[in-house]
Copies of this chain bind each other. A is one copy, B any other.
Amino acid sequence: MYKNEEEFLAAYDSNAFEKLSMTTDILLLSVSTKAEENYRKSSKKYMSILLVKRDDYPFKDKWCLPGGFLDIHEDLEDCPKRILARETNLHNIYLEQLYTFGSINRDPRMRVVSTSYIALVDKNKLQEKLHKNASWFNVTYFESEKDVLVILDNGKEQIKFTIGKTLKEQTTDRYKFTVLENDSLAFDHPLVIWSGIERLKNKIGYTHIVFNMMPKYFALGDLQQVYEVILNKKLLDPAFRRMIADKVEKTEYVKTGEGHRPSVLYKYKKGKN
């Protein structure tokens, strides 16, 4: 045995276990807007995610989440920050660790464990010079008891995949997800996408993270639509306004020119409400 820790460390063989590579994948979520033909109608909203087309093997020409290898001299949380900065030119994006995926064969090249992160942005804050090969896809999903069909659409291409849900333990309401169908997405990214959407759906209810997807000033109707698009269901106006009341603050600004009654603009009100 060794006399002290220094001596131990000096003699330590760090290759006793075969080492591996790590990556981080980022599920960048935002809300996009599509104008309606009817000038009176307010524009339709979609949840949207950023995908990158791979221009090299493996999974050449398939879409995937932005990501990259963890540098050995880099904190784990700095890796997604670096990738986001590269992809969006934005700093101070909301980031949250999602899950670490580590099946043996998830990468055909070699053993890679990947920690995925959720990032939330207001798309309009992005200067629209996206990294080449990157594209926003609108997300639509149809959920049943057993599975979910997810459809991603960027206006030119449509990507579909199906996730199966099975109760993980008898004693949990949480599901274990498996990919049932997937032709167009690289790696286990359908899993990452759906896990992230589930997380967002949950957290929107008991945190204030939505405001990371909103501009500084917003109408309550727009905020409500963001909730609706994430939760995939209609909400009742009075209930929504009661729920949100102490999280927002009225401003002097008003949004007009929409073909109907103008709406007062609000801003996020800090504090634990």
Is A50 in the interface zone, CB < 8 Å from B?
no
Contact in complex: B171, A208 (CB < 8 Å): yes
Contact in complex: B17, A104 (CB < 8 Å): no
Most B Cβ at <10 Å: residue of A171, A207, A211:
A171
A110 to B73, CA, bound (A): 11
Contact in complex: B102, A115 (CB < 8 Å): yes
A99 to B115, CA, bound (A): 10
State how many angstroms separate the Cβ of A201 from the closest Cβ of chain B.
13
Is A20 in the interface zone, CB < 8 Å from B?
yes
Contact in complex: B72, A173 (CB < 8 Å): no
Total number of A residues with any Cβ neighbor in B under 8 Å: 58
Among A8-16, A132-140, A231-239, the one that faces the other chain is: A8-16
Among A32-40, A74-82, A158-166, A221-229, the one that faces the other chain is: A74-82
Contact in complex: A8, B57 (CB < 8 Å): yes
A18 to B21, CA, bound (A): 8
Contact of A171 among B57, B115, B173, B212 (CB under 8 A): B212
Is A70 in the interface zone, CB < 8 Å from B?
yes
Is A209 in the interface zone, CB < 8 Å from B?
yes
Is A217 in the interface zone, CB < 8 Å from B?
no
State how many angstroms separate the Cβ of A57 from the closest Cβ of chain B.
3
Known: A5-B108, A109-B12, A207-B173. A99 touches B97 (CB 8 A): yes
Is A194 in the interface zone, CB < 8 Å from B?
no
Bitwise interface map of A from 74 to 108 toward B, beta carbon under 8 Å scored 1, else 0: 11110000000000000000100101111110001
A77 to B102, CA, bound (A): 7
Contact in complex: A58, B171 (CB < 8 Å): no
Within 8 A of B (CB), among A161-178: 169-174
State how many angstroms separate the Cβ of A101 from the closest Cβ of chain B.
7
A194 to B25, CA, bound (A): 26
A149 to B30, CA, bound (A): 38
Listed A/B pairs (20) with beta-carbon separation below 8 Å: A1-B56, A5-B57, A5-B58, A5-B60, A8-B58, A12-B109, A14-B110, A17-B69, A17-B71, A19-B20, A20-B70, A22-B113, A70-B113, A76-B101, A94-B169, A94-B172, A97-B99, A170-B268, A171-B268, A173-B208
Query: Given A4-B57, A173-B272, list of 7 further CB < 8 A pairs?
Result: A1-B56, A18-B71, A75-B104, A94-B169, A94-B171, A172-B209, A173-B207
